[in-house]
Structure 1
Amino acid sequence: MPDAQGTNGEGGVLGIAVSPTFTTDKYVFIYHTASRGNQLVRARLVDGALSGWTTLLGGVPRNRYHNGGRLRFSPDGRYLFVSTGDAQNGSYGQNLDTNAGKILRIFPDGSIPPDNPFPGKAIWSYGHRNVQGLDFDSQGRLWASEFGNNSLDEVNLIQRGGNYGWPGCEGTEGYCDDSLPPKRTWPTSAGGPSGLRIVNDYLFVATTRGQRMYRLRIDGAANLVDQQVYLQEAFGRLRTIEVDRDGDFWLTTTWDLDEEVGNDRVLHVDVEYPPA
């Protein structure tokens, strides 16, 4: 990755998404830490190599931790959503003059949609600490998983222009009167929610500190019910979860706290679906 930098923490190459029209444009989108801050870049995959690097969004505040970085295209492919962290500065969450601590919505060329909630800004929602999971359900609603601080992690149903409370509100604790409540919380000891995917309106979350994968059903009232736990302590800390065309899961481990180099893995998990 040209210009990519680590932070001896949570910086580096953070998010990746393939263009919805990849068969014709060959575009790959990558969010990463650079010397000037976190940024979104685009390249073309031609003959097995990436080239034509273009910065679409730059200057997002960076720090050792809380850099966010999940990318997800809207179901219609028109918009690209980008999660950012608060760069260890909680006040950024409520500051609409910075892209840190936000979920952003842009066009695939990096321009800002005119119907975004704050004119001229990429911000779609705010008051976030460190969102690392994004996905859409069957009704086109955006969901996000978010790291808490000392007490509660959360999953949120994201609304246009919504305020999710950080730093005053963590989960359901603190001053939360002016913010949207989470749809699910876990104690931080059982969470660390990172990657998030939705399959047939079941929401799956890969967790780091919790070392497990949660499954929750989205009911008719947009609540998360019927929680199940999978892979608990079977593979350690889990970071990313993706779904392939066959409906199987791909997960990554993230043993970033054990001081052992080179022991992370990519896991392929076969998923069995009930008969139609």
Structure 2
Amino acid sequence: MLYKTVFTLLYSLAATSGFSLLLSWACAKEEAPHKVTSAVVAPAPVRVVDAHPSLKFDAPVLYTYAPDGTNRMFVLEQPGRIKLVNQTTNAATATTYLDIKKQVAYGGEMGLLGLAFHPNFKQNGFFYVNYTREGNGHPRETVISRFKASSASATQVDPATETILFTFRQPYANHNGGGTMFGPDGFLYISTGDGGSGGDPQNNAQNRASLLGKMLRIDVNGTDKGNYGIPKDNPYVGNKDGFREEIYAYGLRNPWRFSFDKKGQLWVGDVGQNKIEEVDVVTKGGNYGWRIREAMDPYKGDEKSGDPLINPIHEYSHANGDLSVTGGVVYEGKALPELTNKYIFADYVSGKVWALTPTGQNKATNQVLIDRAGTISSFGEDRAGEVYLCDHAEGKILKLVK
């Protein structure tokens, strides 16, 4: 009876939280804890405060800024809106910058999931979003599209300015990925989940003819694919094997959030199956193992069937109630010098926040920063490099401070 009650609670939480990992954890069989080799060091004296105390957002999943020369910050709300706030004035209300709620399929892990401003946004007004839709004649699918602001200082954007770059089918409602960010090379990177269900039943992550379970890289200024192009140095450009040319790396399960550091390294938090969460430093053409492996543990398949598998830089088990990694950012601000060059990430379920310090090739030490910060769905940075956390359930934007 207790198990049934706990299962019912977890199912309810999974259905409302935006992430289904809780449900998969409830269904998992008990297994011996996985041994994690990264060392743990002493906590740092940091905490979080409410960055916008008078505001509450609807399931926030991103906090970011545009290269527009202002103090404006943008909050991505999963149901289908982008809110505009001023970082310095802390106004009592937030402006709705874009509302596409009517065309977004929202629920569980679906919704408006990614936002990236063009490097030349101040001149062209372009920004890009990643969302799911279904119904009204559409199958369940991910949409990557561009919108245009009338000026860099505009406070509202007309939804009719949308131009769809491309779409791809989602066989199940979960594992949609959703990360969307311009890299230092000027190309747009997009993280995609393996298509959902459990255990990647279609083996999408290892299938390079599919866009699912991948890190994609496209040229938004190109036209060879219609409304976008393929960077000439993408790993599968011109291949004769039917591999998708948009693919930058593969073998990922649900790389919900990723970021670049000042060295240009691509950091990804990849959500695990039933046992292990992982953090990867992703390189071009790399195979990160899913579903052959869950982090370093064998899962299903043959390691000799594709490219050599690349180990995560860090992994952690579910043994202590940490069940769903939220990828973060490398700290490059000034207010917390003790965190400089450390990768700050979290667990959505436990609310724990850590700092990872690289110590060599795929090696790192890890330290707990905060035992419970909230239901952290995403991280963000302001123009000064200070770090923010999105509390998904409470609708708050939190700032990391001393």
Into which bin does the TM-score normalised by the smaller protein fall?
0.7 to 0.9
Sort the Cα spacing of 1:161 and 1:245 in 2 relative to 1 into closer, same or farther, 3 A. Answer: same
1:93 is aligned, of 205, 210, 213, to: 205
Kindly report which structure 2 residues correspond to 1:113-132, keeping only aligned pairs within 5 A, or say none.
113-119=231-237, 121-132=245-256
Whether contact under 8 Å (1:208, 1:239) holds in the other structure is yes
How many angstroms apart in 2 are the aligned matches of 1:67 and 1:223? 26
- TM, length-normalised to structure 1: 0.87
Question: Partner letter of residue 167 of structure 1?
Answer: R
If each structure's helix is expressed as a fraction of its own residues, which one has the higher value? 2
Q: Deviations over 1:234-271 (max 9, x none)?
A: 42x1111001013322221223xxxxxxxx32223143
What residue is the counterpart of 1:202 in the other structure?
Answer: 342
Kindly report which structure 2 residues correspond to 1:16-35, keeping only aligned pairs within 5 A, or say none.
16-35=115-134
Question: What is the Cα deviation at residue 105 of structure 1?
Answer: 0.5
Q: Deviations over 1:115-167 (max 9, x none)?
A: 11112510011111100121122321211110000111101111211111111
If each structure's strand is expressed as a fraction of its own residues, which one has the higher value? 1
How many angstroms apart in 2 are the aligned matches of 1:69 and 1:139? 23
Q: Secondary structure at the match of 1:94?
A: coil
Q: Secondary structure at the match of 1:190?
A: coil
What residue is the counterpart of 2:181 in the other structure?
Answer: 72
The structure 1 segments of at least 4 consecutive aligned residues displaced by more than 4 Å after TM superposition are none
Q: Quick one: percent identity of the two aligned structures? A: 27
Max Rg structure: 2
Kindly report which structure 2 residues correspond to 1:176-255, keeping only aligned pairs within 5 A, or say none.
178-188=308-318, 189-200=321-332, 201-219=341-359, 221-235=360-374, 237-255=375-393
Higher RCO (CA < 8 A, seq sep 6+): 2
Query: Which structure 2 residue ranges, 5 or more long, are not aligned?
Result: 1-99, 222-227, 239-244, 333-340
Whether contact under 8 Å (1:216, 1:224) holds in the other structure is no
What residue is the counterpart of 2:104 in the other structure?
Answer: 4
How many angstroms apart in 2 are the aligned matches of 1:87 and 1:66? 6
Whether contact under 8 Å (1:105, 1:122) holds in the other structure is yes
Q: Secondary structure at the match of 1:28?
A: strand
Identify which range, 127-136 or 184-193, moves more after superposition: 184-193
Count of paired positions: 260
Tell me, yes or no, if structure 1 residue 39 matches structure 2 residue 143.
Answer: yes
RMSD, aligned CA: 1.9
Q: Secondary structure at the match of 2:176?
A: coil
How many angstroms apart in 2 are the aligned matches of 1:233 and 1:98? 37
